Amino acid sequence: MRRGLFLLCLFCSQLVFALDFEKLTSSVNVPGNATTSYEKQWTPFHNPSALSMKKGAKKASFSLSYNNYFTLKEFSSYAASASMFTKYIDVGVAFSRFGFSEYNENIVGLAVSRKFANRFTIAIQGDYCFVSIPKTEGTHGVFLFELGTMVDVYKGFSIGFHAFNPILSSIQFGTNKIEIPSIYSLGFSYEYLQYMTFLLQIDQQVFAPTRFKIGMEYDVNDFFVAKIGFQGFPAQPMIGFSAKYIGIQLDVKLEWHTSLGVNTGCRLSYSF
């Protein structure tokens, strides 16, 4: 009971003014969380234009993911997503939850994307974000949106742009307000010899310092991919891997927060 009250106080002291977007939507499958120009898979609540970049012969996919922060079960997030590809547009739906019973943050989204001239995609996503403090405040939420684009520039080099909550939406709790961050991301990716991918991303959150993210993937063979990455402020190096068989893919990551400790994550996806 005391542990629960302590965590509730900790959440409220940190989050009455800002939603913890990074924990709510953290990526497992992308090294360094540098998702904006990542073409191989759509990462929910990151650049939605990734839906249309790598279709291949697949028609649909779904995924489940789990992240834990600082080895505290109350500091965990759960997410699910599904996508479907059609002749004219590609559609994705997703849900993510972070927190525990006394305090939790949630977001659900619907993304629509389209590819033009086989090298340029544009997408929009509508989200509903809500926070629940059941014992004292109940549940309150707000609608917001995201914009994304991605361009295949030249022979493995791609650029992506993503705007999350550009109109600075927030959630009102009586006289208190929870700010939802407005984040603009610019990403670059380069695929070398079809088995190495390099990622660089610059994030600018309104009223916050600029953040840099880098990542690298190495395709050991058709079934295994090794990953390393780093994101700054605070410094967070990570390692991970993907194991693939037919349409099934398992992603695992281990991340070190230099101030607070270990973060872990896993993701299971299936494309068919």
Give the pTM.
0.89
Nearest Cα to Cα of residue 81 among 128, 56, 45: 45
pLDDT of residue 17: 47
Show the low-confidence residues of the chain (pLDDT under 70): 1-18, 54-58
The CATH superfamily of 2-271 is Outer membrane protein transport protein (OMPP1/FadL/TodX) (2.40.160.60)
Q: Are 129 and 41 in contact (CB under 8 A)?
A: no
Q: Are 187 and 199 in contact (CB under 8 A)?
A: yes
pLDDT of residue 214: 97
pLDDT of residue 56: 52
pLDDT of residue 45: 94
- Which run of H or E residues covers position 90? strand 90-100
Q: How far apart are CA 108 and CA 91, in angstroms?
A: 14
pLDDT of residue 2: 43
